[in-house]
Amino acid sequence: MAKLVYNTEVRKRGYDWYNADEYSERLNIWDLERSDLSKRVKAGVLKRMKEDYAENFLLAPIDPSITAQRTIKPMDTNAWVSFYRVAEKTKVGTDKPLPDDEIRAELLKFFKQHGIGVGHSIDFKYMRESLVMINDLYLARDEKNMEEVYRILKGSRMENTNFDFNHIERFYFDIKAKLSLTDEGELNMVIEVVSFFDFILYDFLFSKGVLQRWFICKHCEQDFQSSRKKDYCSIRCKRRTAYERQLSKTIGKKLTKEQKAKISEAATRRKK
């Protein structure tokens, strides 16, 4: 089973909010893929950015240079919990939220700890909406009101995400699959979520059983789904493992595959 991740970089000096002009300057240094773009293209991008993000702020590294101290890593599972804490602390879900500059400061702390995707534009207005949304989702789920959870997920607030609800009952994440070769010479596939809030939603939905996660059974090695972490797909596999462990203790060494197969065959016959 391929793992679903959101890759981030965590900069020691952290991030700050910038207007479109300042952001664009930083982005040209930060995102190396942009260095190939012509001046004309860059100017065009900036013009559109100024229109899209007028009176808004965008998140970028304080020091965007390639030599700045940074760590590349997938965003932690359960990052949604700290994102929800920001919502709680800034009271965005109430009629007395903290002022925007204080919300921005709390978000900076979050991103300094969890990092952001290289060159991914994260703007304040959208992050503020995202905080309200994770707050509402959390409360609805806490009340076990799944209809409300579904209604929020399908709500108009989601227009800006990569979630696609247009006229369809199902929704999708934007993801991309990446193949790589490991040091052991094996092919490895990672599936990447391409935006920050998609990852937060995905992370939230798969935690505590709104959606079920996939696991691999330690005994029969089959994929199975469960709402919480489990080692075995069934009680049968769990018992079989315990039985084999007991048996190998008696014999004094690990059982071979053939021995295991024989035991399992015998057990099936006994059942009949």
What is the C-alpha to C-alpha distance for residues 64 and 119, in angstroms, rounded to an integer?
Answer: 10
Span near Zn ion by CB under 5 A; candidates 67-75, 147-155, 160-168, 231-239: 231-239
Span near Zn ion by CB under 5 A; candidates 10-18, 26-34, 170-178, 228-236: 228-236
Q: Looking at the chain, which runs of residues are DSSP E strands? A: 3-5, 7-11, 15-18, 58-61, 70-74, 175-181, 187-193, 213-216, 223-226
Q: What is the dihedral of CA 150, 137, 133, 86, to 10 degrees?
A: -160
- Closest CB to Zn ion among residues 85, 236: 236
- Closest CB to Zn ion among residues 60, 233: 233
- Closest CB to Zn ion among residues 87, 237: 237
Q: What is the dihedral of CA 235, 239, 241, 242, to 10 degrees?
A: 140
The nearest distance, CB 269 to Zn ion, in angstroms, is 19
Closest CA to 150 of 136, 160, 162: 136
Residue 208: phi, psi to the nearest 5?
A: 50, 30
- Closest CB to Zn ion among residues 133, 237: 237
The contact mask relative to Zn ion for 170-209 (x = CB under 5 A, - = no) is ----------------------------------------
DSSP three-state, residue 188: strand
Residues in the chain: 272
- Closest CB to Zn ion among residues 1, 32: 1
What is the C-alpha to C-alpha distance for residues 82 and 91, in angstroms, rounded to an integer?
Answer: 14
Span near Zn ion by CB under 5 A; candidates 51-59, 189-197, 234-242, 249-257: 234-242
The nearest distance, CB 247 to Zn ion, in angstroms, is 18
Q: Give the residues across from 226 on adjacent strands.
A: 213
The nearest distance, CB 101 to Zn ion, in angstroms, is 54
What's the CA angle centered on 17, arms 204 and 127, to 5 degrees?
25
The nearest distance, CB 156 to Zn ion, in angstroms, is 43
- Closest CB to Zn ion among residues 144, 257: 257
**List 75, 87, 127, 233, residue binding Zn ion (CB under 5 A):** 233
Span near Zn ion by CB under 5 A; candidates 21-29, 56-64, 80-88, 232-240: 232-240
Residue 20: C-alpha distances to residues 10, 61, 212, 220 (Å):
22, 14, 40, 54
Write the single-letter amino acid at 25: E
Q: How many residues bind Zn ion (CB under 5 A)?
A: 5
- Closest CB to Zn ion among residues 102, 231: 231
Tokens encoding 100: 């925007």
* Residues 202-221 within binding reach of Zn ion (CB under 5 A): 217, 219-220
Contact indicator for 26, 61 with CB cutoff of 8 Å: yes
**List 75, 86, 131, 237, residue binding Zn ion (CB under 5 A):** 237
Span near Zn ion by CB under 5 A; candidates 80-88, 98-106, 137-145, 229-237: 229-237
Residue ranges in contact with Zn ion by CB under 5 A: 217, 219-220, 233, 237
